[in-house]
Structure 1
């Protein structure tokens, strides 16, 4: 038997009412994607066939019950078919049906990786509102995956051209975020980011840590001493380990310096502090990585785009980048190809 060393990447279909099915068919029609991994969609075969007709990619959809049945033939999409989306289900509309299905896709993909039947997860976008309509009260993929894997704490890392950002807090309001930030949390987030870069082959990553206040508080002129209380002790603890960690630095200058190559990773204190610069650098090429899980998970860095869903015009670039990151991070295993 021939050896096929390409990792198996479980691609969850996301919200079936959004652009997920379309960007999946567009991405999997690309020869470079097929060459770098064995893509296994966790979703609905009938919905993928609808998306293929919309995008005119000309792919055959092969519905399977288990990964062992997948053939990974050229021009074919392999799909673990959960059969949760009814015929004629509308695109572009919030739906509890789509929310429930999105949850089930993630759940199945997680179990496949845990069982060693897939090597990484790459997620198409879901709708938080639809997820909540279906009774799954999670702020997003990151928290849902943490729950499914029994992981007490994870971090969101965004990767764009010339920029990597890891977040201390994510899906909470700004006032709540500032309350939650404390030295132990900041130190753990820096450590997760450091470990991820070291595993990727970067021996001594340069890490810049954002301040909370403008001008990093400017010696007490702005704020209530948050930098001294919440951030500096964590930075000193990391520096004591011999890591190249600098800060707290004003976010506006830190992101400029990181984009020109001074830092390998920026530690953002709250959601918009990190997301804004990444999306300016290139929304269509951004990738979301959940750091700290026992499974590899990457994602597109955009939403469901209900306004253009079903029109065949969604750009697959972010999904392709997310698949590349999943391949880079996935454990290498020798697998026999049938």
Structure 2
């Protein structure tokens, strides 16, 4: 099997994306073949660059310079100050990376952080985030977000919606589909033959027998019981405040959570720098660092590339599994 080739999409150019991409290349250039898609003028000054016209040129150049598929942007970049004129370029680069992955020209994509409001205001971006856009680009029935590190894997069932909208959006079909995709991809892409899954409750104390909400009694517990009877190693619903201490984490491979912060707070608390965003349920491999654009430190040379490095490593491992 040939070595995997990972495409990095530039993300929001006024954020830390270009910097952490350059630092990831410096750390991994002898181990992982990669290319970066974006405007080379946005990379940190002094970054060695080799502009390429086709992905297959990247492998032989990566050790000496960062291979770049050039994608010119409309406006100059001021670190920390996003320009709405560049929103379309950010969106187009993501689509270009997906096209390369779907065609087999690259093995996986690793996406640098985007700023959703900039894309919405500047280009009418119609998606709450990367995950939903990738779902649309790949015609996937539904994409599932997983945050992963050595300490924990978590999967939010609802993602980028207001907390007040979660109970209405959370349905038996949605939860079942999320669990099925998680179980399938943990086997297929992570080499876990029989994934152990736990399901968090929606309400405090998992509803406490109906005293704090009835979703657990009415349909979450019955659904989990049905899926266990079908052969999945799955239990729940469990109170969200007891699922993430060390002893609890030792008993499962991934936790299915009900909403965004229920999943992301524990992993960012336990392993902020090494958390990786993985999109399950796609016909391509996609990873991303588990942080945002960090406009407050952009252009200062101090951004920590660890999450990007871990995202690249995970993409390479998934591409060879």
Sort the TM-score into its range (normalised by shorter chain).
over 0.9
The answer to whether residue 197 in structure 2 is matched with residue 204 in structure 1 is no
1:22 equivalent among 11, 19, 23:
19
Name the counterpart of 1:336.
none
Counterpart contact for 1:214–1:250, Cα < 8 Å? yes
Alpha-carbon distance in structure 1 between the residues aligned to 2:103 and 2:266: 37
The answer to whether residue 33 in structure 2 is matched with residue 38 in structure 1 is yes
Counterpart contact for 1:207–1:267, Cα < 8 Å? yes
2:109 equivalent among 118, 121, 137:
121
Counterpart contact for 2:289–2:307, Cα < 8 Å? yes
Task: Structure 1: state its 5+ residue gaps.
Answer: 333-338
For residues 209-238 of structure 1, give each alpha carbon's deviation from its aligned partner in whole angstroms, at most 9, with x where no partner exists: 000111111111111x11122312321222
Query: In the TM superposition, what is the alpha-carbon distance from 1:259 to its structure 2 partner?
Result: 5.8
Structure 2 SS opposite 1:24: helix
Query: In the TM superposition, what is the alpha-carbon distance from 1:96 to its structure 2 partner?
Result: 1.5
For these two proteins, the number of residue pairs brought into alignment is: 318
Task: Structure 2: state its 5+ residue gaps.
Answer: none
For residues 95-150 of structure 1, give each alpha carbon's deviation from its aligned partner in whole angstroms, at most 9, with x where no partner exists: 22332221111010000011110010101101101111222121111011111111
Structure 1 SS opposite 2:299: coil
Structure 2 SS opposite 1:207: strand
Alpha-carbon distance in structure 2 between the residues aligned to 1:82 and 1:75: 21
Query: In the TM superposition, what is the alpha-carbon distance from 1:175 to its structure 2 partner?
Result: 2.2
Written as runs of structure 1 = structure 2, the 5 A alignment for 1:1-338 is: 5-30=2-27, 33-48=28-43, 51=44, 53=45, 59-70=47-58, 71-84=60-73, 86=75, 88-133=76-121, 134-199=123-188, 200-223=190-213, 225-256=214-245, 260-331=249-320
Alpha-carbon distance in structure 1 between the residues aligned to 2:224 and 2:210: 18
Alpha-carbon distance in structure 2 between the residues aligned to 1:115 and 1:260: 38
Structure 2 SS opposite 1:9: strand
Alpha-carbon distance in structure 2 between the residues aligned to 1:12 and 1:68: 17
- The TM-score normalised by the length of structure 1 is 0.90
Moved over 6 A (4+): none
Counterpart contact for 2:155–2:256, Cα < 8 Å? yes
Alpha-carbon distance in structure 1 between the residues aligned to 2:197 and 2:56: 42
Name the counterpart of 1:335.
none
Alpha-carbon distance in structure 2 between the residues aligned to 1:290 and 1:118: 17
Structure 1 SS opposite 2:251: coil
Change (3 A) 1:228 1:259: closer
Structure 2 SS opposite 1:152: coil
Structure 1 SS opposite 2:66: strand
- The TM-score normalised by the length of structure 2 is 0.94
Counterpart contact for 2:157–2:174, Cα < 8 Å? yes
Structure 1 SS opposite 2:12: coil
Query: In the TM superposition, what is the alpha-carbon distance from 1:177 to its structure 2 partner?
Result: 1.2
Alpha-carbon distance in structure 2 between the residues aligned to 1:172 and 1:233: 25
